[in-house]
Chain A
Amino acid sequence: EAQVTQNPRYLITVTGKKLTVTCSQNMNHEYMSWYRQDPGLGLRQIYYSMNVEVTDKGDVPEGYKVSRKEKRNFPLILESPSPNQTSLYFCASSPRGSRPQHFGDGTRLSIL
């Protein structure tokens, strides 16, 4: 079954404690991307990757890092989380030259 898997689904943590949200896809897609969703603000792109070792900033990259060492994985790293990063996060993947097509189920992060 084609899917994008995010882990964890829920996380409550404290300010400054580094965390990583993993994202994995099994469709051999070139394009992967991360979004955050906040009430009233819709979806905002954080980072995207066109292929292995190719990443670029989206609309709201501050405070986040990503890496793309393998085609299937695209982890989102918060080196020093702050309360304003409390949000619902989605990872997505797409075939080449396409769009965010397959989304994961989301990760709800609470930074206290």
Chain B
Amino acid sequence: GENVEQHPSTLSVQEGDSAVIKCTYSDSASNYFPWYKQELGKRPQLIIDIRSNVGEKKDQRIAVTLNKTAKHFSLHITETQPEDSAVYFCAASISGDKIIFGKGTRLHILP
């Protein structure tokens, strides 16, 4: 079955700098890759997603890239702000049905 590895588990960046979180997946049939943000004590929120027919997608300060050959996908956050502090989860799915999540990255934005 599908396996998703996420790195790093913890990331600290200076406010204003960029943050990059990387994930790899094992099942080449996976074709949908969402990212979620979870603030402390809150529900996960879908922040961006990408499908396998697209290499990159951007939404304001957030971008996701996908390398199907290498089975890698990454989340990029530019100009980080204090409100970006949270746990971020990547996930991989075949057509959005069964979905496997990474174990999460705790992002700290330092003042």
Residues of A within 8 A of B (CB): 31, 33, 40-45, 48, 50, 56-59, 90, 94, 97-101, 103-106
Q: A90-B43, A101-B46, A103-B43 are in contact. Are A42 and B89 (CB under 8 A)?
A: yes
* Residues of B with C-beta under 8 A to A94: 96
* Residues of B with C-beta under 8 A to A48: 97-99
B4 to chain A, nearest CB (A): 9
Residues of B within 8 A of A (CB): 1, 6, 32, 34, 36, 43-46, 49, 89, 91, 93, 95-104
Docked-complex contact A99 and B34, CB < 8 angstroms? yes
Main secondary structure of the interface of B (DSSP, over half): strand
Docked-complex contact B102 and A100, CB < 8 angstroms? no
A91 to chain B, nearest CB (A): 10
Docked-complex contact A43 and B44, CB < 8 angstroms? yes
Docked-complex contact B44 and A103, CB < 8 angstroms? yes
Q: A97-B95, A103-B43, A106-B43 are in contact. Are A59 and B49 (CB under 8 A)?
A: no
Alpha-carbon distance between A100 and B43 when the two chains are bound, in angstroms: 12
* Residues of A with C-beta under 8 A to B91: 43, 99
Docked-complex contact A90 and B44, CB < 8 angstroms? yes
Alpha-carbon distance between A58 and B94 when the two chains are bound, in angstroms: 12
Alpha-carbon distance between A106 and B39 when the two chains are bound, in angstroms: 13
Instruction: Name which residue of chain A comes closest to B95, CB basis.
Output: A97
Alpha-carbon distance between A57 and B103 when the two chains are bound, in angstroms: 20
18 further A-B contacts with Cβ under 8 Å, apart from A48-B98, A103-B45, are: A40-B103, A42-B6, A42-B89, A43-B36, A43-B101, A45-B99, A57-B98, A90-B44, A97-B95, A98-B96, A99-B32, A99-B34, A99-B46, A99-B49, A100-B34, A100-B44, A101-B46, A104-B43
A2 to chain B, nearest CB (A): 13
A109 to chain B, nearest CB (A): 16
Alpha-carbon distance between A103 and B34 when the two chains are bound, in angstroms: 14
Alpha-carbon distance between A42 and B6 when the two chains are bound, in angstroms: 10
A43 to chain B, nearest CB (A): 4
* Residues of A with C-beta under 8 A to B44: 43, 90, 100, 103
